[in-house]
Amino acid sequence: MTGLRGSRRGVRRSAGAGRGTAGLAALLLAASLGASGCGGGGEPGDGTFTAGHPEPDHLVPANTTSSYSFDVLSGLFDNLVGLTREGKGVNLAAASVTSDDQKVWTIKIRPGQRFHNGEPVTAGSFADGWNNAAYGPNAYGANAYFSHIEGYAAMNPRDGRAKPRADRLSGVQVVDEGTLRVTLTDPFNQFPLLLSYPAFAPMPKAGLGDLESFEEHPIGNGPYMMSGDWERNRQIKLVAYPGYTGPRKPKNKGVTWKSYSSAETAYTDLRAGRLDVLQTIPSAKVPEARRLLGDRFLPREMGTVDYLGFPLFDRRFASPDLRKAISMSIDRQGINKAVYNGDYIPADSLLPAIITGHRPNACGDLCTYDPVRAKELYAKSGGFKGTLELYFSNAQPTYYQWMQIVANSLRQNLGIEDIEFRQVPASDYFAMLNKRTEKGPYRQNWEADYPSAQNYLENMWSSGSNRMGWKSAEFDGLIARANRSDDQQEALRLYNQAEDVALREMPMIPLWTWAGQGGRSERVGNVTITAYATGLLANEVTVG
Amino acid sequence: MWRYALRRLLQAVPVFAGTTLLIYAMVFALPGDPIQALAGDKPVPESVLRTLRERYNLDDPLLVQYGKYMWGLLRGDLGENYTGQKVAEMLGGRWTVTARLAVTAWMFELTIGVLLGVWAGLRRGRMADTLVLGGTTLLIAVPVFVLGYTAQILFGLRWEVFPTAGTDGGWPASYVLPGMVLGSLGLSYVARLTRTSLAENLRADYVRTANAKGLSRMRVVGRHALRNSLIPVVTYLGVDFGSLMGGAIVTEGIFNLPGIGQQVFQSIQLKEGPVVVGAVTVLVLIFLLVNLLVDLLYGLLDPRIRYG
């Protein structure tokens, strides 16, 4: 009885306690309401906008190959050559880039340009930056991109333990303040496009003198300059640089790149109006975003292609007919619908559509789903014996999804029953491919460093660099002739001939080109996201 | 008591050495080549590979690597990650974020949890009790990320009460929502522990004595029953503070808070030993310290407990 009465009395007490809690909650709520009012994106009316992406790794241009760093760097720096939204080369810091023999290039710098700290941009700014980038012991991320230039080998001895014989690229000569002469190891007519790659940015003397503070506060020559230092894992604020004289004059006052560790969260912020531009909406949210964002949903083509490579060093894959049979038994459009909402583009060539030199249907029947013909070719090749192992990394869940469909196709259409999956940790995947320890077809993709057919073909199929163990003197010869040609049209024709050789032998089959989906807020307009390293054309965006 | 505290602190030294070695060994045993992982599919020249492997002692055996790491640590150098960032700097800014988040979650656990527990404990078997028991079971059963995204969509998107993500709103605005999500599991345990413990003590002899003396209900429950009942709760809260610091990975991800959990997760994927060990080392220290404090608190709650 006492217990009962006691607890009834307790009701009042704890009702009091309840009020206390309500009071506390109200207090917290009020405090947060007050603070969250100014917590959102860029402050309205100041002419700047926000864009979301994962955290960059470096802001010294040549020390990174990450697209998240490029987002920021392409605003901070004007390379000699830039890209139009169609992926054509256009002079930015250069007045001209010319060569008679495609081997020795003369570059005139557009006069009157200054870095954000007032230092003039000269031929030396480029030479210094490149020398710093190409020097092996500096261990810069984009070091390998300088290998076309004479003198690179002396700075990066094959035996990594040896001390380099030189610390400057002998092929880069400063003729005078406004002229740079670059000598390449081999004739290379795509060199101007290579110069658009972020690693070829100029470096001011102040930056090379103190690289540590340069990393926190890069000083560039581009349309935007840093406002404050890099706030790691939070944001990087760029504001329009008043002294900019180049062709990319900003139509806004600035852009703040906010760092997100989760794509879902970035998307939620876009929906909440706390973020103005998001270049990549997570694939699971794409159908919803398409519905919710309306004309603020921004789909785009991309330059990333997925391929399925064959280890030709394993004799079971030696027959081109077997490889062609596998290609023809894969239903590219079906997989695209099942895994990628039908947004990806089934491959009809080794090159994506955004690259000059892409020929629709270059692959022809070989990339067309045709189970009957596939079975015939498979029989002709003598078939496949043993276990077929399929290799892919765990970097994205969709890889496993489409590999399963591929496996089913091979079972049904070719009668290969014994199939196993080899899902490898992403950090191990390329090491495995480099050591050639895979025993079956493997997933491979490529994204253009600079928009040229050469960038795909030479990196992925030439005997010196391909992973398949494929050797073709014919292919290599055509690429070399194309690189040497002083006529761009002739070069393109030769690249396409080389592509035909690779298609004929099919050491690696193309699967599909990726598609990207972005979105914008109501505050911003004229948002263009290109398929190239430059990504978002930040200077074109209008605010308000 | 001071002798006891000192002895506990000295005991922490071997615990500390053991855990760091263990963590170092675990990261070392992870598959994958960190330098290759860094480069992705882009070519890396031999000269660059060699320089990086030497700079980060990657070709040394485990014990030599660990020795070099500890030698640096003794001189106050936490080392660098594989992109050349100083670990101390990387973690420095992040600790404040995680600490704020953990303290918010912890305060939430403590206040709401104890209050709910008392409420239910005083009304055992009745409506309030059933409500608390049912509600907390539900909270325990729902995965944190479901709770997180739901809270984000409701409070952030629909009602716009709190920022959806990030730390721009400062404390407490940006931390209330993630703190509540992170603390929800602990809250359930605290409420249940308090409830059971209080309900038991209410039937103890000393409570009956206090009641018989004619003390007010407030005094009986507050000073006598509750004080005793809080010993298991305080133990739990102490242990839980450590796990809140470390267990914030999911919450920090959902709410885009640049804290330690996020960093540890990324660093494990990149096989960045020095970062993982650095972060976890500090976690171990906090864990040891908080638990020492908890043990010392026992004496205040129950004077019969003596330290030998």
Q: Is the pLDDT of residue A30 over 60?
A: no
Number of domains forming the structure of chain B: 2
pLDDT band per the 50, 70, 90 thresholds, residue B258: confident
Same domain, yes or no: B171 and B265? yes
Same domain, yes or no: B105 and B198? yes
Calculate how close chain A gets to B127, using CA atoms only, in Å. 12
Closest partner residue to B118 (CB to CB) among A14, A34, A36 is A14
Q: Is residue A66 a contact partner of residue A140, using CB atoms and an 8 Å limit?
A: no
Which pLDDT value is given to residue A16?
Answer: 31
Q: Is residue B148 a contact partner of residue B183, using CB atoms and an 8 Å limit?
A: no
Report the length, in residues, of chain A: 544
Domain boundaries, chain A: 81-211, 305-514
The token pair at A197 is 């790659």
Quote the ipTM score.
0.76
Flag whether B251 is in a domain. yes
Q: Which helix (H) or strand (E) holds A12?
A: helix A2-36
Number of helices (H), then strands (E), in chain B: 14, 0
B85 or A338: which carries more pLDDT confidence?
Answer: A338
Same domain, yes or no: B95 and B70? no
- Alpha-carbon B80 to chain mean position: 25
The string of DSSP letters for A221-288 reads SSSEEESS--BTTTEEEEEE-TT--SS---SSSEEEEEE-S-HHHHHHHHHTTS-SEES---GGGHHH
Domain coverage including residue B62 = 14-74
Please give the Cα distance from A270 to A297 (Å, whole number).
11
Same domain, yes or no: B61 and B158? no
Average pLDDT, whole number, for chain B? Answer: 85
Q: Is the pLDDT of residue A12 over 80?
A: no
The string of DSSP letters for B70-137 reads HHHHHTT---B-TTS-BHHHHHHHHHHHHHHHHHHHHHHHHHHHHHHHHHHHHTTTSHHHHHHHHHHH
Same domain, yes or no: B117 and B178? yes
Same domain, yes or no: B66 and B94? no
A524 burial via Cβ count (<10 Å: 0-12, 13-18, 19+): buried
Q: Is the pLDDT of residue B171 over 50?
A: yes
Same domain, yes or no: B24 and B52? yes
Residue (of A293, A295, A300, A245) closest to A273 by Cα position = A293
A534 or A1: which carries more pLDDT confidence?
Answer: A534
Same domain, yes or no: B127 and B63? no
Please give the Cα distance from B112 to B191 (Å, whole number).
8
Q: Is the pLDDT of residue A474 over 90?
A: yes
Residue (of A130, A88, A134, A136) closest to A107 by Cα position = A130
Which pLDDT value is given to residue B307?
Answer: 66
Same domain, yes or no: B151 and B40? no
Closest partner residue to A161 (CB to CB) among B50, B166, B266 is B50
Closest partner residue to A14 (CB to CB) among B34, B94, B122 is B122
Domain boundary among B43, B74, B105: B74
- Which DSSP symbol is given to B153? I
Flag whether B254 is in a domain. yes
Number of helices (H), then strands (E), in chain A: 17, 19
Q: Tell me the pLDDT tens digit for each residue of A380-392.
A: 999 999 999 999 9
pLDDT band per the 50, 70, 90 thresholds, residue A38: very low
Which range is least confidently modeled, A115-124, A208-217, B8-17, B29-38? B29-38
- Alpha-carbon A443 to chain mean position: 17
The token pair at B209 is 């004595």
Flag whether B308 is in a domain. no
Q: What CATH number belongs to A81-211?
A: 3.90.76.10
Q: Is the pLDDT of residue B184 over 70?
A: yes
Residues of B in contact with A272 (CB under 8 A): 156-157, 160, 164
Domain boundary among B46, B74, B102: B74
Q: Tell me the pLDDT tens digit for each residue of A266-300.
A: 999 999 888 999 999 988 899 999 999 999 999 99
CATH architecture of residue range(s) A305-514: Roll (3.10)
A15 or A375: which carries more pLDDT confidence?
Answer: A375
Which pLDDT value is given to residue A26?
Answer: 38
Same domain, yes or no: B276 and B223? yes
Please give the Cα distance from A77 to A223 (Å, whole number).
7
Q: Is residue A222 a contact partner of residue A136, using CB atoms and an 8 Å limit?
A: no
Which pLDDT value is given to residue A21?
Answer: 35
Residues of A in contact with B258 (CB under 8 A): 232-234, 259, 261
With a CB cutoff of 8 Å and minimum separation 6, the contacts of B80 are B56, B86, B87, B274
Question: Is residue A520 helix, strand or coil?
Answer: strand
Say what the pTM is: 0.84
Same domain, yes or no: B138 and B244? yes
Flag whether B240 is in a domain. yes
Identify the residue among B129, B164, B175 best suited for mutation to test binding to A, counting A beta carbons within 10 A and taking the highest: B164
Flag whether B8 is in a domain. no
Q: What is the mean pLDDT of residues B77-87?
A: 82
Which pLDDT value is given to residue A27?
Answer: 37
Q: Tell me the pLDDT tens digit for each residue of A156-193.
A: 988 767 789 999 999 999 999 999 999 999 999 999 99
Residue (of A415, A420, A433) closest to A326 by Cα position = A415
Which pLDDT value is given to residue A465?
Answer: 86
Same domain, yes or no: B144 and B290? yes
